[in-house]
A and B are shown apart, each in its own frame.
With several copies, the nearest count.
Chain A
Amino acid sequence: MKPVKRIEIVIEEIELENVIDELDRIGVVGYTIVPRAGGRGERGVRYESVQGLGNVLMTIACDEQQAARVIEVIRPILKRYGGVCLVSDAMWVIHDS
């Protein structure tokens, strides 16, 4: 097991492509996506509907350095479009050890 940062991001569906491009740019490979999430925040209710303006939940496990870079590229997107980013500690069960 290896200590990692667990980054959890809630963004609008339409920004997902953009976020993945940013992750590519800073060399973050792994992420998990849960599509079709709803929610409520400062900008009101977001529910999955015809408009494709629902939420997507993204989870990224990475080391502390990468986490800092992820936060750096996510922050302006959050600022522009809203959403949430939580960072916590976790242990990653490595396959081989």
Chain B
Amino acid sequence: MFSLSSMLIPAILFFALGFFAQLVRSDLKFPPDLTKALSIYLLVGIGLHGGMELAKVDPAGAIGAVVAAVGLGLGLPVIAYLILLLAVRIDRLNAAAIAAHYGSVSAGTFVTAIAFLESLKVPYESQPVIMLAIMESPAIIIGLVLANMARRGNGNGHDKRVSRELVHDAFTNGSVVLLLGSMLIGAIAQPAGLNKILPFYETMFMGVLSLFLLDMGMEASRRIGDFGKVGPSLLVFGIAMPLLGGAIGLAVGHWVLGFGVGGTLLVAVLAASASYIAVPPAMRLAIPEASPALFLTLSLGVTFPFNIVLGIPLYFGAAQWLASQ
């Protein structure tokens, strides 16, 4: 059963510690290369684990997840874009840039949800990992399309080149390659060899995640300084959008994909989370007119901590409720 004590999992506590450290302006600082190293490790770890699980499953069963992932990746940024234009009323280019972030996903949030499920000993489906890998890309393309629409008329010579570059990046960016590549390795490598590397990638996983979240807590907290630039209605968007995305994800996970509580939570988290790794540089290239202070503050400073601390338990409660109907 779920209770407040389930929030006392180390992953969340370490995130809170990092957030606090930065809040009191401690001189604690992770070297940026350490952050990158931890990300690489986590992505490979998720991929390997997912690939091994998927190898056990009927491959046809994964097709639904793939379709759902593409659908969410294309649909969510459009929804976000419309809300930003019509309700929040910001300009089209910033709206496009922010929307792309919400169509994509946060691997850190995804893994924290897994830590949450494991601490409650709730089982979960293996397909969401493929969805994680897939959902990185379409949102970048949609962001580009929205921006080009917004910009139509005031054409810019660089555009074609940048567009080609971005479509390339969308499918070859580091996270996608690491996730898909290590899923493949997890699926095809011979078991004796895999068993030799699992002590590193599985036994250590939750510990490394705690260190990563300590660091991300600091990163998130560092963004608070820009809340003023973001303004109240966008801040509200940063919480409303994951709630809406989470609801859509719950529906997709429960009804469309027929997942149990665990898998449904993970789909909700995919839909609710916003990218802060692959999409920011892509949007910076694609829409230089958009302000990084806006999209980074929203994805990293608002939505990410919201999901880690409140979103995950909330979506979990909802997934339980759905399952009990």
Interface set of A (CB-CB < 8 Å, partner B) = 12-15, 36, 43-44, 48-54, 76, 80-82
* A-B contact list, 20 entries, CB within 8 Å: A14-B284, A14-B285, A43-B291, A44-B226, A44-B293, A49-B32, A49-B35, A50-B36, A51-B276, A51-B281, A51-B296, A52-B27, A52-B280, A52-B281, A53-B280, A53-B281, A53-B284, A80-B288, A81-B284, A81-B288
CA–CA, A51 to B226, complex, Å? 16
Query: Given the complex, which residues of B lie within 8 Å of A51, measured CB to CB?
Result: 276-277, 280-281, 292, 296
The answer, yes or no, to whether B136 is at the interface (CB within 8 Å) is no
Asked if residues A48 and B296 are in contact (CB atoms below 8 Å), the reply is no
CA–CA, A50 to B285, complex, Å? 16
Query: Given the complex, which residues of B lie within 8 Å of A54, measured CB to CB?
Result: 32
Asked if residues B32 and A48 are in contact (CB atoms below 8 Å), the reply is yes
The answer, yes or no, to whether B163 is at the interface (CB within 8 Å) is no
The answer, yes or no, to whether B158 is at the interface (CB within 8 Å) is yes
Interface set of B (CB-CB < 8 Å, partner A) = 27, 32, 35-36, 39, 156-158, 219, 226, 276-277, 280-281, 284-285, 288, 291-293, 296
Query: Given the complex, which residues of B lie within 8 Å of A48, measured CB to CB?
Result: 32
Asked if residues A76 and B277 are in contact (CB atoms below 8 Å), the reply is no
Query: Given the complex, which residues of B lie within 8 Å of A52, measured CB to CB?
Result: 27, 280-281
Query: Given the complex, which residues of B lie within 8 Å of A76, measured CB to CB?
Result: 157-158
Asked if residues B292 and A14 are in contact (CB atoms below 8 Å), the reply is no
CB distance from B64 to the nearest CB of A (A): 32
CA–CA, A91 to B108, complex, Å? 45
CB distance from A13 to the nearest CB of B (A): 8
Asked if residues B292 and A50 are in contact (CB atoms below 8 Å), the reply is no
Q: Which residue among B27, B219, B276, B288 has the maximum number of chain A CB atoms within 10 Å of its CB?
A: B288
CA–CA, A93 to B104, complex, Å? 37
Query: Given the complex, which residues of B lie within 8 Å of A14, measured CB to CB?
Result: 281, 284-285
CA–CA, A50 to B158, complex, Å? 26
CA–CA, A43 to B285, complex, Å? 14
CA–CA, A14 to B276, complex, Å? 15
Residue of A nearest to B162 (CB): A18
Q: Which residue among A13, A14, A48, A49 has the maximum number of chain B CB atoms within 10 Å of its CB?
A: A49
CA–CA, A27 to B285, complex, Å? 25
CB distance from A16 to the nearest CB of B (A): 11
